[in-house]
Amino acid sequence: MRTALIMTLCLIVALTAFACGPAEEPTSGEGEMAEEHSSEEHETAETESSGNEHEDHGSMTMSSSGSMGGERIHVSMTDQGEMYTMVPEAHSVHAGPVTFVAENEGLIEHELIVVKLLDMNVDLTALHVVDTQLVEVESGGVTYIADAAGRHIGQVIAATGHDAHLTAGHTVELNADLTAGHYLLVCNIETHYQLGMWTEFEAT
């Protein structure tokens, strides 16, 4: 009787273990898919991080380039007796926007005209004058300096204005966009060019 009971219990235990079976392990395919998914997430995170760094670098470059401006050149104008002078602090600049800071350190009115020379062989010490002034002519909305034959030897790029001369002791800023070439800075009030109020200038 007891032996039969023990055999019955052993049979029940064996059947229960067989029904439950061993715990399932992931197949090799499922494991590979999990690893690939993890790798893709890591690569995506690295790509987004790299893209953000690139965008920040680009904005810094734009800010830096945007802060660049043109050169400033101080120009002193004096009139001592029969000696008139026009003296810039530098005689050459890089081509591009330039601000001429014209200061009248003399006793009478003056002006500043920026002329780009069209004839490199012209003698600046003996330009053609009429009534003690260089000859300015208008053509197509542009002002030129002309020689005795009416030929354009220079183009006026900027001027302080004939109707508002620079009075003694005052300073005015004159903006000009200079292309590469040779220039003449001159005061064209009566007799001032002939008295020496001019100088050569260059943009490279």
Q: Of how many residues is the chain composed?
A: 204
Residue 165 has a pLDDT of 85
Helices (H), the chain: 2-20, 28-66
What are the angstrom distances between the C-alpha of 105 and each of 80, 100, 151, 202?
10, 15, 34, 23
β-pair partners for 139: 142
d(CA 58, CA 119): 45
pLDDT digits (tens, 9 = 90+) for 76-129: 999 988 889 999 999 999 999 999 999 999 999 999 999 999 999 999 999 999
Tokens of 180: 């590469």
Tokens of 149: 């034959």
Tokens of 57: 């670098």
8 A C-beta contact, residue 104 and residue 171: yes
Residue 53 has a pLDDT of 40
Structural domain boundaries in the chain: 71-203
pLDDT above 50 for 58: no
Residue 4 has a pLDDT of 56
Q: Exposed, middle or buried by CB within 10 Å (0-12, 13-18, 19+), for 179?
A: exposed
What are the angstrom distances between the C-alpha of 98 and each of 10, 66, 72, 94, 170?
106, 17, 6, 9, 20
- Global pTM value: 0.66
CATH of domain 71-203: 2.60.40.420
pLDDT above 90 for 194: yes
pLDDT digits (tens, 9 = 90+) for 156-185: 999 997 667 899 999 999 999 999 999 999
Residue 80 has a pLDDT of 87
* 11 vs 91, more confident: 91
Least reliable range by pLDDT among 43-52, 57-66, 70-79, 125-134: 57-66
